[in-house]
Amino acid sequence: MAVLTEEQTLIKDQATAWAKDKAPVSSFRALRDSKSEQAFLPETWSAMVDMGWSGILVPEKYGGSDLGYLTCGLILEQLGRQLTASPLFSSSLVGASALMLAGNTAQQEALLPSIANGSALVTLALDESSRHQPEQTACRAEQTDDGFCISGKKTFVAEGMSATHYLVAARTSANPGDTQGISLFIVPAQADGIERTALPTIDSRDYARLSFTDVRVEATAVLGSLDDGMPVLEKVLDRARIGIAAEMLGTASQAFDMTLDYLKTREQFGKVIGSFQALGHRAAALFSLQEQSRSCVEAALQAVDAEADNVSELASLAKCQVGKFLFEMSNELIQIHGGIGMTDEFDAGLYLKRARVLEASFGNRAYHRHRYANLMGF
């Protein structure tokens, strides 16, 4: 486990207490049951902004606190425990990371302060199918006299309905499958030619399908280098994978705690079921997976903060390892609880549904096993 500073410990404790008290899983259930078009509560997001979480990665000169990825990951883990819905991951981590990595001074000055104060929600529009395949980007951006004209489709865009800006990966040359020829664009969500449609998902979050029809942007909308956006996109994606792994760790750890409490209190044949050897062995194996996953996630977060050379390897390792833990833990949460685990009244189903979406986001285990092997030279 990472050795936390006093400030990180205080922020983790704050996040733990706040999530339990102000944004517990019961609040998410109530939001889901309300059938509201809102995918997160505005008051929840306002509270996060007031606590400074929306600017946790943003440099101080742009109104943030620049406390680093490990600190951000500690917060995401606690939100994952309570299934708290918010744009913190999509905008304050992924959107802010992209602007810090590739944005010029004008782009950073225009958007980073707004990300920090919560008024701008900047999200990545990348995938075009149910599979995570960045190099297969087919959405095109044709150069015009005064900028670019974007046409194509995107799907599973996180916070897609509530976003104020999209970071759109579009092909400016070459063909789908090529790593060259992809560029990133900052596109206002209200730009003419964008049609966004809510995409219902089993975890009841804000996802959208986007359709771009001759969407015109100025040349200044290019984020980073024209035709050579893949290297910076991979850096952004690695930070996204590590951040979502931190949230997954929280979701799986809460499922473990719920299961452990049940093993300690449920009685059968005159004994608590946790005393049965077979169930004890299953709990021990899950605990081992939890600690392995935590080590991988925290090592990856620390590597980003240290600007280490092996961030990509650690990102895939963390996403794959915690994906395994979350998959097995969410299954065991249902199985060990038995019949009650299958009911909607019990929270296990909410964790299972969220787990399945998180596992597939930014590459599933098969994707990251293959990527990790390639990165390690196999």
Confidence of residue 2 (pLDDT cuts 50, 70, 90): confident
Asked if 304 and 69 touch (Cβ cutoff 8 Å), the reply is yes
Q: What is the mean pLDDT of the chain?
A: 95
pTM value? Answer: 0.96
pLDDT at 187 exceeding the cut of 80: yes
Give me the mean pLDDT over the 174-200 stretch.
96
What amino acid occupies position 350?
L
Which SS3 state, helix, strand or coil, does residue 268 take?
Answer: strand
**What is the rounded CA–CA span in Å between residue 251 and residue 241?**
15
Among 93-97, 159-163, 226-230, 345-349, name the one with the lowest average pLDDT.
Answer: 345-349
Asked if 72 and 12 touch (Cβ cutoff 8 Å), the reply is no
Q: What is the dihedral of CA 284, 287, 293, 295, to 10 degrees?
A: -100
Helix, strand, coil proportions of the chain in percent (round to 5)?
A: 55, 15, 30
pLDDT at 168 exceeding the cut of 90: yes
Confidence of residue 275 (pLDDT cuts 50, 70, 90): confident
Greater model confidence, 357 or 340 = 357
pLDDT for position 325: 98
pLDDT for position 262: 87
**What is the rounded CA–CA span in Å between residue 22 and residue 349?**
21
pLDDT for position 344: 86
Q: Name the phi and psi angles at 198, rounded to 5.
A: -60, 135
pLDDT in tens, 200-219: 999 999 999 999 999 999 99
CA distances from 10 to 45, 46, 75 (A): 20, 20, 11
pLDDT for position 99: 98
pLDDT at 139 exceeding the cut of 90: yes
- Is 6-119 assigned to CATH 1.20.140.10? no
Give me the mean pLDDT over the 219-236 stretch.
97
- Is 231-375 assigned to CATH 1.20.140.10? yes
pLDDT for position 339: 77
Greater model confidence, 314 or 266 = 314
Q: Which residues contact 72 (CB under 8 A, 6 or more apart)?
A: 56, 57, 92, 93, 243, 246, 301
**What is the rounded CA–CA span in Å between residue 72 and residue 164?**
22
Closest CA to 139 of 28, 35, 229, 26: 229
CATH numeric code, 123-227: 2.40.110.10
pLDDT at 269 exceeding the cut of 90: no
Confidence of residue 185 (pLDDT cuts 50, 70, 90): very high
pLDDT at 309 exceeding the cut of 90: yes
Q: Taking the chain, what is the end-to-end CA distance rounded to the nearest angstrom?
A: 29
Residues in the chain: 378
Confidence of residue 338 (pLDDT cuts 50, 70, 90): confident
pLDDT for position 36: 82
pLDDT at 314 exceeding the cut of 80: yes
Give me the mean pLDDT over the 132-141 stretch.
97
pLDDT for position 305: 98
Closest CA to 317 of 356, 355, 374: 374
pLDDT in tens, 62-105: 999 999 999 999 999 999 999 999 999 999 999 999 999 999 99
Confidence of residue 274 (pLDDT cuts 50, 70, 90): confident
Domain positions in the chain are 6-119, 123-227, 231-375
Q: What pairs with residue 95 in β-bridges?
A: none
pLDDT in tens, 15-60: 999 999 999 999 999 999 998 888 899 999 999 999 999 999 999 9
